[in-house]
Amino acid sequence: MQTVKLIAFVSGGIGDQLYHFTQMRALAGTTTSGTIDIGCIHAPIMKRIAAGCDWIGKIIDISPLRRLAAPVGFLAAVRDVREGGYSDAWFMHKSGNFKIAATLAGIPARHGLCATWFDRWVVDTPIFLHEGGGRRKSWGHIPFIGAIDECLTTKGLVLNDKYPPIGSSANWTDEVARRLAHLPRPLVVVNLFAADTARRWPLEHAATALKQVLTHYNGSIVLNTGPDAREYHAQAYAMIAKDEMSERVVDTAALWRGIEQDIALYHLADAYLGVNSFSANLAMNCNLKSAVLFPTDGDILNYRSDNAPLVPATLTSKTERPCLTDITSDQIISALGRLLAH
């Protein structure tokens, strides 16, 4: 499989867009330049993430393509895509608007996720989620990742998940290493917060489990999250960082505010422990061994190696649906033990 110049279209939350980094890096290897351009939502933050990815060419803001009802912005975005002179487009999202844009931009070969009869008409290599595929059964509530995997491997591409698709510069790595040099190993990065309350780790349960992790491994906890969760983590810090444990718990909100430092942290740390969130996806794409908490089996994300998904072993709460408080400290300590052992 050889292409001249490629653009991939991704959408959803930032974490959702990171799902496809291994796939897009594999596609980049088929181009004459060894790079792929990415049309995405949240372009400013994606550009900062892409700075550590030598396989990414340009980041193009395609957020106007979501609004056909705003034709001026839509057509301006189509013009930006047309100026790329692409031979191929890959759709990592089933949006019909992206396919219309690629067609109007004159991209001759179009491949990817499809949902309607129109998609089959304009896409040369359609991927329909209802059309079989054994591997995608392991992908829980996001079978589209497995479906694209199957398509790419059928075309002979190798999805190498031993090499991190997101890299870090030496300058940022050195700075973060210096700031955390006083902390004993193992260094476990923790995020408790998710916008979806069902995926959020309740504070009291998290504090109890994290204290036990500190006691068991004699290492350190590094609380790390985005700006929308800093108050939540501040409460967690106050509950955990007490007595002799206070010197082994830090909250990165007091140290830095940049995604570049977060990426460096994930390359330096020994493991990630926390909820299904942007942080978890970033950790996995930096090849940080990850123990991720999920409410049910059907929620599990398992698209990178060296991770240990955690779900309630038995329901101990009296709620109608499982929640993260049903995941025991013993489960967490055992999962971290498996990850840290190799």
Expressed as residue numbers, the domain containing 177 is 170-340
pLDDT tens readout for residues 176-216 = 999 999 999 999 999 999 888 888 899 999 999 999 999 99
117 lies in the same domain as 214? no
328 lies in the same domain as 212? yes
Between residues 314 and 257, the one the model is more confident about: 257
Classify residue 161: in a domain, yes or no.
no
Q: Give the three-state DSSP class for 58.
A: strand
122 lies in the same domain as 183? no
The answer, yes or no, to whether residue 271 has pLDDT greater than 90, is yes
- Give the span between the Cα atoms of 192 and 328, in whole angstroms: 15
73 lies in the same domain as 144? yes
329 lies in the same domain as 290? yes
**With the CA atoms of 21, 26, 32 and 34 taken in that order, what torsion angle do they form, in degrees rounded to the nearest 10?**
50
Classify residue 165: in a domain, yes or no.
no
Classify residue 163: in a domain, yes or no.
no
pLDDT at 138: 43
Mention every residue, 6+ apart, whose C-beta is less than 8 A from residue 126. Answer: 111, 112, 114, 119, 120
218 lies in the same domain as 295? yes
Question: What are the Cα distances from residue 314, in Å, to 22, 296, 324?
Answer: 34, 11, 11
98 lies in the same domain as 214? no
Task: Classify residue 240 by burial, with Cβ atoms within 10 Å: 0-12, 13-18, 19+.
Answer: buried
209 lies in the same domain as 74? no
141 lies in the same domain as 214? no
Which of 126, 154, 182 finishes a domain? 154
User: What's the CATH code of the domain at 96?
Assistant: 3.40.50.2000
85 lies in the same domain as 234? no
Which of 103, 119, 154 finishes a domain? 154
- Give the span between the Cα atoms of 33 and 88, in whole angstroms: 14
Domain total for the chain? 2
- Give the span between the Cα atoms of 298 and 195, in whole angstroms: 19
pLDDT tens readout for residues 69-113 = 688 999 999 999 999 999 999 999 888 899 999 999 999 999 998
Between residues 299 and 39, the one the model is more confident about: 39
Which of 154, 183, 201 finishes a domain? 154
DSSP H or E segment with residue 23? helix 21-28
pLDDT tens readout for residues 217-256 = 999 999 998 877 888 999 999 999 877 778 999 999 888 8
Classify residue 216: in a domain, yes or no.
yes
Classify residue 105: in a domain, yes or no.
yes
144 lies in the same domain as 181? no
State in Å, rounded, how far the first CA of the chain is from the last one.
35
- Give the span between the Cα atoms of 120 and 123, in whole angstroms: 5
